[in-house]
Amino acid sequence: MQDLRSAAPALTTLSDEEQMFRDAVREFAETEVRPHVQSMDEAAQFRPELIPRFFELGLMGIEVPERFGGAGGGIFMSVLAIEELARVDASAAIYVDVHNTLVNNCFLRWGNDEQQARYFPQLTSGLLGAFALSEPGSGSDAFALATRAVRAGEGWELTGRKFWITNGAEAGVFIVFANADPSKGYKGITGFIVERGFPGFSVGKKENKLGIRASSTTELILEQCRVPEANVLGPIGQGYKIAIETLNEGRIGIGAQMIGLATGALEAATAYVKERRQFGKTIAEFQGVQFQLAQMATDLEAARLMVYNAARLKDAGQPFAQQAAMAKLFSSQVADRTTSSCLELFGGYGYSKEYPAEKYYRDAKIGTIYEGTSNMQLQTIAKSLLK
């Protein structure tokens, strides 16, 4: 593991600014998001008035420089926001996660001066972004994508379909990856900035999902979509590098989502076992229940340390790809186990939508799948170890 002494004095130590920020996000999540969690999940629809609130609270430009309307912070602050939102609703968290760790991160790393000046003021004030890499035939093998980009006049035409695009229903700008030279294989992949209003662009069907149901996950359709030359993101043929390096940061965000929702599930179960009575006493008095809670709390703390570690390393400018993969892998496993055990502690009520346990359980499953499956994280870690 990377020595973190130069990155932070202690992984779990928060500065006064970080603690105030976390408290503010928690208050917002409790007062403005929690009252609508169940109805949003049942309707599979996020309340549209909450997205502008994300922008008003400064949650959508955490790492963006202040001159563009952002907070000029680091990914650790994004982690705190995502974790606190996911503690209440994982769907709310993923809007903030994707916008910050994928879209804004892409512009920060690869956008030229003109692109940053044009888009950042919008991305920090009201324009929601989405990241479009996956396709029907390219999931884990992301670079087998079939979307094509061909030169057309002074710009490009993109043709293809993108699947499982988070924020797709509401986003106004999309980072889209297409192959501009299939003869070069993955080295032909190029990034493009596509606005919703570009000719030939449309949003397709919305997925009916198991979990994070209020978050929109859609298909994108590109039919000779016209993209100006000024909207090529990064060097032509470097899209594979842009995608990989962007997803490295994105995995830290998913880790934060997983520890947040696992925390919410554990808090709900802990409160319930202190109220539920069987055999003349609360079930919290049974040692078997106490041991389950203790093990879950220990696993969760370990996962949190791994996520914080990866975030601190990234902010310190140190290598973090291996730690990000480990954090995403382990936190998703912990969230899967924790939410399952919490559901069981609720007994029959855990299987009912009357209590929150079943939603946390459904929401957790996506953590082992998106932004790189668990097997892909293992492959990344193994490659790093064997390099």
Look up residue 182 and give its amino acid.
Answer: P
Q: For residues 38 and 262, give the distance between their C-alpha atoms in angstroms, rounded to a whole number.
A: 17
How is domain 130-237 classified at the CATH fold level? Butyryl-CoA Dehydrogenase, subunit A; domain 2 (2.40.110)
What phi, psi does 178 have (nearest 5°)?
A: -140, 155
Ramachandran angles phi, psi of 138, nearest 5°: -140, 95
On the question of pLDDT at 378 being above 60, the answer is yes
Phi/psi at 152 (5° precision): -145, 105
Token code pair at residue 54: 């994300």
pLDDT classification of 12: cutoffs 50, 70, 90: low
Backbone angles phi, psi at 19, to 5 degrees: -65, -40
Cα–Cα dist 95/85, whole Å: 10
Average pLDDT over residues 359-364: 98
Cα Rg of the chain, angstroms = 21
Asked if 75 contacts 202 with a C-beta cutoff of 8 angstroms, the reply is no
Separation of first and last alpha carbons in the chain: 14
Buried b vs exposed e over 35-73: b needs ≥16 C-beta within 10 Å? Answer: ebbeebbeebbbbeebbeebbeebbbbbbbeeebbbbeb
Distance between CA atoms of residues 354 and 357, nearest Å: 9
C-beta atoms surrounding 210 within 10 Å? 11
pLDDT of residue 7: 39
Single out the residue of 261, 251, 235 nearest to residue 362, CA to CA: 261
- CB-based contact 109:63 (threshold 8 Å): no
**How many C-beta neighbours within 10 Å does residue 30 have?**
13
Structure confidence by residue, pLDDT tens digits, 256-293: 999 999 999 999 999 999 999 999 999 999 999 999 99
Catalytic-labelled residue, pool 83, 157, 219, 371: 371
Q: Which two tokens stand for residue 29?
A: 């999540």
For 296-321, letters b (16+ CB in 10 Å) and e give beebbeebbebbbbbbbbbbeeeebb
CATH classification number, 16-127, choose in 1.10.540.10, 3.30.565.10, 3.20.20.210, 1.10.1060.10 = 1.10.540.10
Predicted local confidence at residue 11, as pLDDT:
58
Position 9 scores a pLDDT of 39
Strand, coil or helix: 266:
helix
**pTM higher than 0.85:** yes
Give yes or no for a contact between 25 and 59, defined as CB atoms under 8 angstroms apart.
yes
Residue 23 has pLDDT above 90, yes or no: yes
Q: How confident is the model at residue 67 (pLDDT cuts 50, 70, 90)?
A: very high
> Is 37's pLDDT higher than 80?
yes
Residue 142 banded pLDDT, cuts 50, 70, 90? confident
For 284, which DSSP code? G
371 is catalytic: yes
| pLDDT per residue as tens digits for the range 168-223 | 999 999 999 999 999 999 999 999 999 999 999 999 999 999 999 999 999 999 99
What homologous superfamily does CATH list for 240-386? Butyryl-CoA Dehydrogenase, subunit A, domain 3 (1.20.140.10)
User: Domain spans of the chain?
Assistant: 16-127, 130-237, 240-386
351 with 343: CB under 8 angstroms?
yes
